[in-house]
Amino acid sequence: MNNNDITTTTTTTRTDNNVNKIDIKLSSKARRKAEKESPEGVLKSKLGQCSKAGDVVQALKLYDEARRKKVAMNVDHFNKLLYLCSNGENNNENGDGEVALRRGFEIFQEMLSDGVEPNEATFTNAARLAAAKEDPEMAFELLKRMKSFGIAPKLRSYGPSLYGFCKRGDAEKAYEVDADMIESGLVAEEPELSALLEVSVEMKKEDKVYEMLHRLRATVRQVSESTLKIVEDWFNSEYATKIGKKNWDLNKVKEGFVRGGGGWHGQGWLGSGRWKVVNTHVNDDGVCLSCGEKLVSIDIDPKETENFAASLSKLACQRETKSHFYNFQKWLDQHGPFDAVVDGANVGLCNMHHFSFGHLNSVVRQLRELSPSKRLPLIILHVSRVTSGPAQNPNNKRLLENWKNNGALYATPQGSNDDWYWLYAAVSSKCLLLTNDEMRDHLFQLLGSSFFPRWKEKHQVRISASNRGPSLIMPPRYSIVIQESSNGSWHVPTVSTDDHEIPRKWLCVTRSKKKSLHSQWTSNSTSQGT
């Protein structure tokens, strides 16, 4: 017997407490080893390997062998099997599609018969089986069954039924799934909204096309090329030329703009006749180079900002040492608010092989010049950045001391994530935030897709580095979001790359007959080149 696998009972001079701690440690280690080497543990490991390799045939062999040997299987075993069986595209390539589907349904029923309690992944995988069978009705019924078990569905749970109905062209059933999704408190993202938009276009459901465009505006803001193609298809369609009000109430349109903060009115399709659809760009002032319309900067409700700051504080306190973050909030109350906050680590390392205080100081001075009060911005740096490395240089020491004496430096403590600190400081101060961080990792996913992108667009300052030194890229003067105009025209932005030198593509859709700035600009460029 391995001595590590048993609880020691030998006499020892250590205290009973210490012995107990060691006993528990050895016991838990032994337990994990035993679980891993048990028939159930071996099966789980092998199924995991099959899942990574997409090998449904081997997984089914393992399952059949486990059934013969009466190996006790839990929900994880079954979920791996169902996932592999529902992976229709991969299975069809290997010629195993029909067998995988049939066996998948059998395994699902056997799991329920065995009394193994399903979870969300179980029902979602079963719904994917139904989708692979091209049976969205069954997928939707499985979703409802999941809810009857008291299991909260996720957005992915709705995909099999929603996409199945959309693919079939059954718009009404797709809307029913969408309504159930909303009832479950879930917010559709671009893939779901794009599918709903496409089926609405195909089925000539103009009110639903209008609704989906506004839902894309509210939650997605900028669309992918594939979604843009669906939008273009709608406006280029013969049916779309027949849709729209010839006369509308200007007061209601104005009220809609005020209520929504600008950029949309929600009064339905305005105007009549054929749409003019142009791929174009928007200049730095927000003027469309096709129709000449100036896009607006959409306001953010101050109450929304306050609520966001409160939720940010709550999340930070859950993930940081509570006393550390409370101390920071207290310090901020005493020294703030600021006109700008600097993500010191990101700026000091921007396009550098090593941390540069000179680089950081250059942008700090530029921000100070932009400040109405000529006040230094708040610089957030981890404590290690202000006590070691380049911070030991005499010039950098003097710089840090100056910032500190002016209440413009906060050193985040050991073990903390400074992202929470600089983001909270900027939101609570309602000020600019200087960072090149695109804020896309897990931490920022927690903040949701509704308010945060709007706040970031209006408050984030970026840095552009060149041989002449760093320069600031200020927030756009207009909102980069789908905009609906008072004359019925639309402007739809696409998702751009992180390279801010490449102009973003916009779709301009109007019913105006006037000559566009875009055509004037093009003709001027052509004439100058001849």
Task: With CA atoms as reference, report the closest residue to 400 among 364, 435, 429.
Answer: 364
User: What is the span of the domain harbouring residue 308?
Assistant: 302-473
Distant-in-sequence contacts of 311-318, Cβ < 8 A, 24+ apart? 311/447, 312/420, 312/423, 312/424, 312/427, 312/447, 313/424, 315/420, 315/446, 315/447, 316/420, 316/421, 316/424
DSSP per residue over 123-174, as a string? HHHHHHHHHHTT-HHHHHHHHHHHHHTTPPP-HHHHHHHHHHHHHHT-HHHH
Which residue would you say has higher pLDDT here, 10 or 256? 256
pLDDT above 60: residue 496: yes
Alpha carbon distance 3, 369 (integer Å): 70
pLDDT band at 22 (very low <50, low <70, confident <90, very high): very low
Alpha carbon distance 488, 270 (integer Å): 4
* Model pLDDT for residues 164-205, shown as the tens digit of each residue: 999 999 999 999 999 999 999 999 999 999 999 999 999 999
Mean pLDDT of the chain: 88
Instruction: Determine, yes or no, domain membership for 466.
Output: yes
pLDDT band at 525 (very low <50, low <70, confident <90, very high): very low
Mean pLDDT of 427-448: 84
Angle value at C-alpha 256, between 254 and 258, nearest 5 degrees: 70
The alpha carbon of residue 387 and the mean position of all alpha carbons in its chain are separated, in whole angstroms, by 35
Alpha carbon distance 75, 119 (integer Å): 8
Residue 93 pLDDT: 62
φ, ψ for residue 462, nearest 5 deg: -115, 170
Residue 12 pLDDT: 39
Instruction: Determine, yes or no, domain membership for 21.
Output: yes
Residue 524 pLDDT: 45
Instruction: Determine, yes or no, domain membership for 107.
Output: no
φ, ψ for residue 172, nearest 5 deg: -65, -40
pLDDT band at 25 (very low <50, low <70, confident <90, very high): low
Residue 376 tokens read as 């230094």
195 in Cβ contact with 212 (< 8 Å)? no
Instruction: Determine, yes or no, domain membership for 398.
Output: yes
Instruction: Determine, yes or no, domain membership for 243.
Output: no
Residue 68 pLDDT: 96
Residue 515 pLDDT: 41
372: domain CATH number is 3.40.50.11980
Instruction: Determine, yes or no, domain membership for 479.
Output: no
Residue 21 pLDDT: 46
> What pTM was computed for the model?
0.82
Residue 449 pLDDT: 66
Alpha carbon distance 304, 311 (integer Å): 11
* Model pLDDT for residues 366-405, shown as the tens digit of each residue: 999 999 999 999 999 999 999 998 999 999 999 999 999 9
> 57: Cβ–Cβ under 8 A, 6 or more apart, which residues?
94, 96
The single-letter code of the amino acid at 390 is P
Task: With CA atoms as reference, report the closest residue to 78 among 36, 56, 110, 100.
Answer: 110
Mean pLDDT of 5-32: 51
**Burial class of residue 523 (count of CB atoms within 10 Å of its CB; 0-12, 13-18, 19+):** exposed
The alpha carbon of residue 378 and the mean position of all alpha carbons in its chain are separated, in whole angstroms, by 28
Mean pLDDT of 206-216: 97
Alpha carbon distance 80, 179 (integer Å): 30
pLDDT above 50: residue 117: yes
Residue 360 pLDDT: 95
Mean pLDDT of 253-282: 93
CB neighbour burial string for 167-188, b if at least 16 within 10 angstroms, e if fewer: eeebbebbbebbebbeeeebeb
Q: 387 in helix, strand or coil?
A: helix
Residue 7 pLDDT: 34
pLDDT band at 96 (very low <50, low <70, confident <90, very high): confident
pLDDT above 70: residue 249: yes
Residue 320 pLDDT: 85
Single out the residue in 473, 504, 522 at which a domain terminates: 473
422 in Cβ contact with 312 (< 8 Å)? no
The single-letter code of the amino acid at 449 is S
Q: In what order do the strands lie in the sheet with 409-412?
A: 409-412, 378-382, 340-343, 432-434, 460-464, 471-473
Task: With CA atoms as reference, report the closest residue to 343 among 412, 402, 290, 390.
Answer: 412
Instruction: Determine, yes or no, domain membership for 12.
Output: yes
Task: With CA atoms as reference, report the closest residue to 284 among 297, 275, 274.
Answer: 297
256 in Cβ contact with 486 (< 8 Å)? no
Which residue would you say has higher pLDDT here, 530 or 438? 438
Instruction: Determine, yes or no, domain membership for 386.
Output: yes
Residue 473 tokens read as 């890229």
* Percentage of the chain modeled with pLDDT above 90: 71
Mean pLDDT of 313-335: 92
Residue 17 pLDDT: 52
Angle at which helices 120-132 and 97-113 cross, to 10°? 150
Residue 87 pLDDT: 86
* Model pLDDT for residues 58-95, shown as the tens digit of each residue: 999 999 999 999 999 999 999 999 999 998 555 556 66
pLDDT band at 211 (very low <50, low <70, confident <90, very high): very high
pLDDT above 50: residue 285: yes
Task: Look at the chain and report how many structural domains it folds into.
Answer: 2
Residue 88 pLDDT: 58
pLDDT above 50: residue 37: yes
Which residue would you say has higher pLDDT here, 406 or 522? 406
87 in Cβ contact with 94 (< 8 Å)? no
* Model pLDDT for residues 451-484, shown as the tens digit of each residue: 888 899 999 999 988 778 788 999 999 999 999 9
Task: With CA atoms as reference, report the closest residue to 292 among 523, 515, 525, 524.
Answer: 515
**Burial class of residue 86 (count of CB atoms within 10 Å of its CB; 0-12, 13-18, 19+):** buried
Alpha carbon distance 339, 370 (integer Å): 9
pLDDT above 80: residue 30: no
Rg of the chain (C-alpha set): 30
Angle at which helices 39-53 and 75-86 cross, to 10°? 20
